Structure 1
């Protein structure tokens, strides 16, 4: 049973965890021999990402566990809780990275082994870019975006908000990791060729700040997920389908709650009062089957009421726009 759950874990997070663990070991060895503060920052960054993404993989797998008597609502939001805990790791790493950078600016020292440092960082950037590309393709798959080549880069940003929490985290962390590697390379080159030894400390601080940005973004996104954030885009998509059924006259309520990587759908619909119970049940079965086919939907609750000839759904939408 546990093996089956692990197979359902987020693949991007698992790949990223393995790659970052390898990168962290390589960077750690390079830092041990050279004492370069920018390399220290990158070691901490990759180590934090590896631990973070491993927990994300476990959380995304456990969130697929079926409901039990003790937890009848399932474990969909578990991935959000795991991600909230995971950002603490990145936050600690961010603090240590910035602190070490400040110390190096105040007490700049000349580091050695530029060839080792640059080689390791270039290798790290290439590996991080590979993981970032995998995360981009996963975003395109999850959000049904048709993109290839260079268009995948900007279209993945456009679909980021609709990606699964685990995929979103991997994308943001490896984007920052790739940029952080480039910043570290620049800092080392400035220090070696121009004698600006403080540049390595500045690079460390910039990397730490970017890590803090990921912490803040991930924390806010998953705090909303734990509370059960409504997905207005999917609500509108479902509403458009509902109104393709002529028997449905109006929508009194429609609520789509995102629970981890899953969606819980509830609605109360107004139908023609002349319909029989059998006809109403047939409509309900048809709606449930279609909505269940939408990616990520795990639970659909549908209630019917008589048509009161008042367009509730349209009025709610227009009122919302006016309030904006």
Structure 2
């Protein structure tokens, strides 16, 4: 289920990427490495992406209004989707372009020691940020397999930040190998190959994130635990005879809509039905605090 949606994981990644992008940019100028330039632009793009996520979190916290009666929770999903698009275009596509250009116009890579030192430092910082993301996700996945949690999680901001950081780590490893091979073999085309590999990684991660966030953006069902809890609470009440329809929708981080059509015992008055519905809603919210909206349609007994 959705957890606490603090912005600490976003801010720590933003600070890390700001420092890393400056170091990479200086190293790219000194070495003339295409892979280093691709990594510099990747880190700068990540900084912009994290600012967009912070904007999304802030907008998702706005209260419901007459125009948006169910709140603004899906704003975070919209900005998460924008991050995936920017990661695809600003990071992946540009890296592919730069790699193809370098293959045809390969230039000598200089000051390799500087580039390797900066990449190693960047990998250490990115690795630390990624491990922090994993620790946070381990708290929330509650025994669910890690990759299944990535597919099922409603915490789009955490998944996007983890995707960015994991892609950055893999990209840095490719950049390190490319720069090292270019230096050892004297063939600068290895640098171009590393740049292409970084582009492929970024595009792959961006496509995965876009697919997952798009599902939330268009209206994904809530966690199965909430559906099961709502059904179980209805069955436990002797005044409710059957569950005819049960729908859950994830409206935003920690915000779930539940709609049910319930059958009630014969002979109940309108007041008794209304009271039973109110009791059911209270018990459901007590068990599942994520349920922010609950709509129940009563059905007449069958004769």
TM-score between both structures, scaled by the size of structure 2: 0.88
Residues 133 and 197 of structure 1, relative CA distance in 2, 3 Å threshold: same
Q: Determine the C-alpha separation between the residues in 1 that align with 2:223 and 2:244.
A: 15
1:35-79 Cα distance to aligned partner (Å, 9 max, x none):
111111111111111211221122012101101223222111111
Q: Residue 11 of structure 1 contacts residue 57 of structure 1 at CA under 8 Å; is this kept in 2? A: no
2:76 alignment partner in structure 1: 79
TM-score between both structures, scaled by the size of structure 1: 0.82
1:246-268 Cα distance to aligned partner (Å, 9 max, x none):
43322111111112322211111
Instruction: Provide the aligned C-alpha RMSD in A.
Output: 2.4
Deviation at 1:170, TM superposition (A): 0.9
Structure 2 regions of 5+ residues with no counterpart?
none
Which of 172, 176, 183 pairs up with 2:174?
A: 183
1:298 alignment partner in structure 2: 292
1:273-316 Cα distance to aligned partner (Å, 9 max, x none):
2445555444323332333242533211122223449xxxxxxx
1:108 alignment partner in structure 2: 106
Structure 1 regions of 5+ residues with no counterpart?
1-6, 147-153, 310-324
Query: Is the aligned partner of 1:129 residue 2:127?
Result: yes
1:161 alignment partner in structure 2: 151
1:103-158 Cα distance to aligned partner (Å, 9 max, x none):
11222222112222112111211211222122223323333x25xxxxxxx94323
Query: Is the aligned partner of 1:284 residue 2:281?
Result: no
Please give the secondary structure, in 1, of the residue aligned with 2:68.
coil
Greater relative contact order: 1 or 2 (C-alpha under 8 angstroms, separation 6 or more)?
2
Q: Determine the C-alpha separation between the residues in 1 that align with 2:279 and 2:47.
A: 44
Greater Cα offset, 256-265 or 168-177? 256-265
- The size of the alignment, in residue pairs, is 295
Please give the secondary structure, in 2, of the residue aligned with 1:99.
helix
Please give the secondary structure, in 1, of the residue aligned with 2:262.
strand
2:186 alignment partner in structure 1: 195
Please give the secondary structure, in 1, of the residue aligned with 2:29.
helix
Q: Residue 136 of structure 1 contacts residue 156 of structure 1 at CA under 8 Å; is this kept in 2? A: no
1:270 alignment partner in structure 2: 263
1:211 alignment partner in structure 2: 202
